[in-house]
Amino acid sequence: MTVVIFGATGMVGKGVLLECLDDPRIERVLLVSRHHVDVGHQKIHEILHQDFFDWAPIQAQLTDLDACFFCLGVSSVGMSESDYLRSTYDLTLGAATTLASMNAGRLTFCYVSGEGTDSSEHGRSAWARIKGKTENALMRLPFKGAYMFRPGYIQPLRGIRSKTRWYQLVYDVFGPFYPVLRRLFPGHVTTTVAIGRAMIQVTAAGYARPILSSDDINELAATRGPMPGKGM
């Protein structure tokens, strides 16, 4: 399979990238980023692109793809609703529409959303409405399949660190207790490894539901093999 990853310089995206590099089903990984990714591998081909609201200059390179793993995202903290809408809905749909047009129903689209996303688009929380609006629009595009990943707490593994300092502080504090969190709140916690493995699995075999909770993500990841800390 050939996949494209958006957001591979971020915590979740880098986790997905590492799983793609290790999985023999993935033959080629196209990375679309503003900056070089600090991972070297023969499977990787990078496209450096600065304007994520204009895909015309690179759309000819976004062909013959089996999957898109869309891991870009920004926090809504401190942002106006209009700015968050542009950075979340407008940016994502621009990329997704381009991919759909260039891959003619062949591509599976996996989108990292979040627990609490509002599919009705009418709730009180602006970020949840906008994420729901984005999900709904993605599922209407002519993809082979579109899967919305709604993780709760995500523990970074394999040496990955968040670029956001206070996020990383949380991970440092709770990381040693992840096995306990997993037992106490199995439906609300997952890892970067599990997200990557689950994305690959839904691309290879599909899934019964288009919206995946942490439970679903962990179940799919387990079909690929044990996660670090769980028998590896």
Give yes or no for residue 137 having a pLDDT over 60. Answer: yes
Q: What is the mean pLDDT of the chain?
A: 90
Of the candidates 164, 188, 184, 179, the residue with the CA atom closest to the CA atom of residue 115: 188
| One-letter identity of residue 195 | I
Which residues sit opposite 32 in a β-bridge? 6, 47
Give yes or no for residue 231 having a pLDDT over 50. Answer: no
**What are φ and ψ of residue 231, in 5° steps?**
115, 0
In this predicted model, which residue has the larger pLDDT, 230 or 8? 8
Tell me what percent of the residues of the chain surpass a pLDDT of 90: 76
Q: Span 153-173, mean pLDDT?
A: 74
Q: Please report the pLDDT score of residue 73 as a whole number.
A: 86
For the stretch 104-129, pLDDT in tens is 899 999 999 999 999 999 999 999 99
Q: Please report the pLDDT score of residue 228 as a whole number.
A: 53
Q: Please report the pLDDT score of residue 75 as a whole number.
A: 82
Q: Please report the pLDDT score of residue 183 as a whole number.
A: 73
In contact, 149 and 111? CB cutoff 8 Å: yes
In contact, 110 and 69? CB cutoff 8 Å: yes
Q: Span 63-80, mean pLDDT?
A: 92
Q: Span 156-181, mean pLDDT?
A: 70
Q: Span 203-217, mean pLDDT?
A: 96
Q: Please report the pLDDT score of residue 168 as a whole number.
A: 64
Q: b/e string for 28-51 if b means 16 or more Cβ within 10 A?
A: bbbbbbeeebeeeeebbeeeeeee
Q: Please report the pLDDT score of residue 170 as a whole number.
A: 67
Nearby residues of 196 by Cβ (< 8 Å), 6 or more positions away: 15, 16, 17, 18, 19, 20, 69
Q: Please report the pLDDT score of residue 49 as a whole number.
A: 97
Q: Please report the pLDDT score of residue 178 as a whole number.
A: 65
For the stretch 24-50, pLDDT in tens is 999 999 999 999 999 999 999 999 999
- C-alpha to C-alpha distance for 91 and 73, rounded to whole angstroms: 10
